[in-house]
Amino acid sequence: MNRIETAFQNRPIFMPYFPLGFPSLDISLDVIETLAKNGADLIEVGLSFSDPLADGPVIQKATQTALEQGITIKKSLEAIRNLRSRGVTIPLVLMGYYNPMLSYGLKNFIEEAGSSGVDGFIVPDLPLEESGAFRSAAPSDKIGRMDLPLISMLAPTTPSERMEMLVGSAQGFIYLVSVTGVTGARKDVPEGLGDLVSRVRQKTSLPVCVGFGIGTPQQACAVGSLADGVIIGSACVRTIGESPYPVQAAKEFAEIYSSALMTLKSPS
């Protein structure tokens, strides 16, 4: 059983997002370590890019700051290795855009990510039809399953036939985008989310995790009662980024959200 599978033994899991290099590389390492050791079950680790088309203003600003601070793919992979050396044992999934990975060299990127301690990838601008090169560059087992899964993303607008196609090639877990548009906290949990989660579960046995728009512990609980994982990005970045004490803010953020979801947890 790999780290991702182990994380989902006690659902729903808490999955914060935070970008490497924000507000500086050293602080981001401390923040991610703190999130990991204070309740996060899996962390979506951000790779910065100059054109983050799926991200809202909070994450765009954070990743731009990281780029200005000199973050690169190479430094990001070294940072993952650093986190593992600090005793971070939960799954770390890299979320980034395709162009920097392609520029780095897909085979080198994937191999170095694996040796650094990465558990998988989320690439929001890489559609299934164009993912062949990425999948071919990744090591896989005898039946073609990637050692480091490329996480499939679904949206409320995904047609049923395409949904079947996407989940058919999925590994690790399903990233279900709860709303149309870019990342960012919303006031309410979308109507129909329960039905959308049910539709996806009818097509796959993989865990279904919901992201985009979750900004309060109450919303996290509402989503956690429906899904196997709760992904919190903008609210996490904003709360930590606005604090004069980001590491302490990370500790409090992780404790609040993990405690809220703890009431829903039951071994799978």
Active site residue 33: no
| Whole-angstrom distance, CA of residue 213 vs CA of residue 183 | 6
Residue from 210, 266, 267 nearest 14 by CA: 210
Separation of alpha carbons 236 and 224, rounded Å? 17
Q: Of the listed 26, 30, 41, 55, which one is catalytic?
A: 55
Token look-up 């039905």 returns 195
CB 208 within 8 A of CB 251: no
Nearest to 92 by CA among 71, 121, 115: 121
Which of 41, 44, 119, 228 is catalytic? The answer is: 44
Alpha helices in the chain (DSSP H): 3-7, 25-36, 57-68, 73-85, 98-104, 106-116, 132-137, 160-168, 193-201, 217-224, 234-241, 246-262
5 is catalytic: no
Taking residue 242's Cβ as centre, other Cβ atoms within 10 Å add up to 10
Please say whether the dihedral angle defined by the alpha carbons of residues 20, 40, 255 and 177, taken in this order, is positive or negative: positive
**The two three-digit tokens of residue 152, written as one number:** 């499939």
Per DSSP, 128 falls in state: G
Which residues are tagged catalytic?
44, 55
